[in-house]
Structure 1
Amino acid sequence: MPTPSTSPGSRPFDRVLLIVLDALGVGAMPDVHLVRPNDVGSDTLGHVVRAVGGLSLPNLERLGLGTVAPNAGLRVDPAPISVHSVNGLGYKGADTYLGHQVLMGSPVPDTPEELFSAVRDDVAAALRAAGHSVEPASEGLPALFVDSMMVVGDNLESDPLQTYHCVGSLDDQPYEAILAVGEILRSVARVRRVVAMGGYGFRAADIRNCVELRPTGQSGVNNVALGLYTSNYVVRHLTRGNRPDVQVPTILQKAGYTVELIGKVADVITCEGAHKEPHVLTRPVIEATYASLGRVKCGLIAVNIQETDLAGHDQSARRYADCLIMADEGIGRMMGMLGPRDLLIITGDHGNDPTIGHDKHTREFTPLLVWSPTIRPKGIFMRGTLADIAATIAEIFAVDAPEIGSSFLDEIETD
């Protein structure tokens, strides 16, 4: 591995800890009435706080979360300790995969968008050629029932035309069997993402009974009705169209810096040579982050806390709030592990309002909270795209800029 291209004295910081609180939206973007009318009125954070009768997030509030979302019902700290603002998403739609590509500094991948029905026959042929049994999941629907144990089709909780899934019970089979079918699906599918999903507490017949055809033309498993997202959920995201060479993790890795990806980001971002831990549940993600802070001396630690997003899909404000409380406690401990040569960046990738009346993501602004023990706190103008975070990280380490984004490093001053 090459040595880092800058000496410690020439860098403003040695480590960046980037935490993405998945689906932490702070209010609908102004174009939703035109592009996503079902998201009009969405406000994930504010609606969660009100639905549970109030919420205390002392560390995030101290950083300024209540300040950048003053109508959310959190405590508004009169003197937040971070450089704080909000982000526009910088991409069309509201999607974790797309959001993370932009967040790491590349445009949305240019890949075909199509329903599962467009590739159904090709998928069935590939599965049969690999020795799997295949039949319709339900009469007249495109989704497929594979090996009498799992369903392959459109992912109903994602926007149409972008994501397929393979859903199976871990009480019926090992997760490796679900993943193997998911990988065959990935080999045929042209869309951006294939999700291989497994959970406990239901069986193959339950999965089949939850197959639906939506008005959008999507045909797949209603994972919310199945209870998948509350069942010690296991998942892998198999992606296509990534452009790692123009994204900040790969740029840093090639320059000799350490890169660790923890949580969902380990699946949706490609970075050869990075340490990856694709945990799903909040506690393992937080524990893995503590361990990463104990071993990484110089470089990027990127973390996705996913369970808030699952709570949004499950339309459970209480679960969302409980995940935020756990994340807040973990962030507080992480802050205690950071020194003056460390920078913490907290953001989201979209919203997922559990009270909006549907089980999909919502197109919302996300918070931007930037902190170091010696930082000079201030509010800054809204950033137009999540990609500005990647550009800032690249400037910190004096490496090549990612393909998109404008750095705000000049807004970050330390004593």
Structure 2
Amino acid sequence: MTDAKPPFDRVIILVLDALGIGALPDVHLVRPNDVGSNTLKHVVRDAGGLSLPNLERLGLGTVAPQSGLRVEAAPIAVHGIFNLGYKGADTYLGHQVIMGSRVPDVPEELFEVVRDDVAAALRRAGHHVEPAGEGLAALFVDGRMICGDNLESDPLQTYHCVGSIDDMPYEEIVKVGEILRSVARVRRVVAMGGYGFKAADIRRCTERRPTGQCGVNNVALGLYTSNYVVRHLTRGTKPDVQIPTILKKAGYEVELIGKVADVITCEGAHKEPHVLTQPVLDATYAALARVRSGLIAINIQETDLAGHDESAERYAACLRLADEGIGRMMAMMGPRDLLIITGDHGNDPTIGHDKHTREFTPLLVWTQGIVPKGIFMRDSLSDIAATVAEVFGVDAPEIGTSFLDDIVRA
């Protein structure tokens, strides 16, 4: 940490989960199902048009001119486009890169590989375990919940435990998820709960995919539209080389709001892992009123859930609410605050599948008095972490190239 006064007291990173603006050029080789994806363009089209006045004046339509948003002739922000900087398309991986570390190197395997070990661990803890059905690798636990592959994630990376909060306290789902986490070697275990369905519905919606994945079809279940509650139990993170932990160790405040609170490890950070957009925004306003110096990182997740639900209308509604929130955030910001907005991947609700899509994401950077300019293509989302490190004069994260030189005030 240097003795010089940082150019900003606070940096706000806002990730609009799954805000993709066009397929990466390698999708025909690595993800053929994503060919033609363009989340923002197709959401705007299927919503019959969309007005996002704050994002538009920042330059979202300018960096995505085919999206159908207003192309601002004179955007007020530094604006550009991100290549993801990691393989695949995943929130957990995307956030590791955004915070400045390489993707963690952990085993990738289907749930069926560890199924017997998971079943044994659950039985030792006193749970009743049986197969979810004939020919299914997923497990039916205590006659109430399913453990298996998460079907909305890429194969080999994520398992889930799904239960009805109408049938049991959510904490019971989390406890089973923690046992699954203790055995699983993959990056992420997701403990998922919702309302309005029963155990029989969960079992009925358990299926095997051609990828070999076996778990609950959460879209068919209606989980993502049922006041969804979630915890992400991760493995393989490298907090010591990520900007939240670097800042915390340097004495700065760090607040993680929304999904980022679950997928990023930072000891001592203030965390609020809300799912619904309005509670995320309310927590953000409170953080802006409370935090004096440091990092406020926010993830608005409902856009991603709308993509999984294959609902362009819901996605558009979430974007409208987020845009209103961005306007309020900007009004609360002072001249020593810096706002950085991006996405972590795409999730095109019109592409014909319920998984993430591998897409470019926008980069919008604003502070009072900033000199707007287009910086266009950045190689990696990790450039955000590198920029934050340079702002505060702390140790650089593991990866990333700063764009602080492009942030000039009149």
TM range (shorter): over 0.9
In the other structure, the counterpart of 2:270 is 275
Trace 1:31-46 onto structure 2 (pairs within 5 A). 31-46=26-41
1:344-386 deviations in Å (ceiling 9; x for gaps)? 0000000000000000000000000000011100001310100
Trace 1:271-350 onto structure 2 (pairs within 5 A). 271-350=266-345
CA distance in structure 2 between the partners assigned to 1:138 and 1:63 by the alignment: 51
CA distance in structure 1 between the partners assigned to 2:375 and 2:326 by the alignment: 22
CA distance in structure 1 between the partners assigned to 2:135 and 2:216 by the alignment: 15
- Identity among equivalent pairs (%): 80
In the other structure, the counterpart of 2:112 is 117
CA distance in structure 2 between the partners assigned to 1:409 and 1:140 by the alignment: 55
Is 1:49 the counterpart of 2:44 in the alignment?
Answer: yes
CA distance in structure 2 between the partners assigned to 1:154 and 1:325 by the alignment: 32
In the other structure, the counterpart of 2:70 is 75
Letter of the aligned partner of 1:92 in structure 2? K
Letter of the aligned partner of 2:231 in structure 1? R
CA distance in structure 1 between the partners assigned to 2:27 and 2:402 by the alignment: 27
- Return the offset for 1:140: 1.8
Is 1:370 the counterpart of 2:360 in the alignment?
Answer: no
CA distance in structure 2 between the partners assigned to 1:273 and 1:10 by the alignment: 24
Name the SS of the counterpart of 2:298 in structure 1.
strand
1:88-130 deviations in Å (ceiling 9; x for gaps)? 0000000000000000000000000000000000000000000
Trace 1:211-250 onto structure 2 (pairs within 5 A). 211-250=206-245
Tell me, which stretches of 5 or more residues in structure 2 are unaligned? none
In the other structure, the counterpart of 1:139 is 134
In the other structure, the counterpart of 1:97 is 92
CA distance in structure 2 between the partners assigned to 1:322 and 1:265 by the alignment: 21
Say whether the 8 Å CA contact 2:99–2:244 is kept in structure 1.
yes
Name the SS of the counterpart of 2:390 in structure 1.
helix
CA distance in structure 2 between the partners assigned to 1:372 and 1:115 by the alignment: 45
**Which of 393, 409, 412 is residue 388 of structure 2 equivalent to?**
393
1:299-322 deviations in Å (ceiling 9; x for gaps)? 000000000000000000000000
- Return the offset for 1:139: 1.1
In the other structure, the counterpart of 2:24 is 29
- Return the offset for 1:10: 2.1
In the other structure, the counterpart of 2:399 is 404
Tell me, which stretches of 5 or more residues in structure 1 are unaligned? none
Aligned length: 410
CA distance in structure 2 between the partners assigned to 1:16 and 1:53 by the alignment: 35
Letter of the aligned partner of 1:193 in structure 2? R
**Which of 251, 259, 263 is residue 256 of structure 1 equivalent to?**
251
Name the SS of the counterpart of 1:361 in structure 2.
coil
CA distance in structure 1 between the partners assigned to 2:6 and 2:152 by the alignment: 42
Name the SS of the counterpart of 2:44 in structure 1.
helix
CA distance in structure 1 between the partners assigned to 2:353 and 2:14 by the alignment: 26
Trace 1:184-199 onto structure 2 (pairs within 5 A). 184-199=179-194
Letter of the aligned partner of 1:102 in structure 2? V
Name the SS of the counterpart of 1:121 in structure 2.
helix
Cα RMSD (Å) of the superposition?
0.6
Name the SS of the counterpart of 2:255 in structure 1.
strand
Letter of the aligned partner of 2:149 in structure 1? D
- Return the offset for 1:6: 4.9
Q: Where does structure 1 differ by over 3 angstroms across 4 or more consecutive aligned residues?
A: none
CA distance in structure 1 between the partners assigned to 2:150 and 2:221 by the alignment: 13
Is 1:153 the counterpart of 2:148 in the alignment?
Answer: yes
In the other structure, the counterpart of 2:178 is 183
CA distance in structure 2 between the partners assigned to 1:284 and 1:151 by the alignment: 28
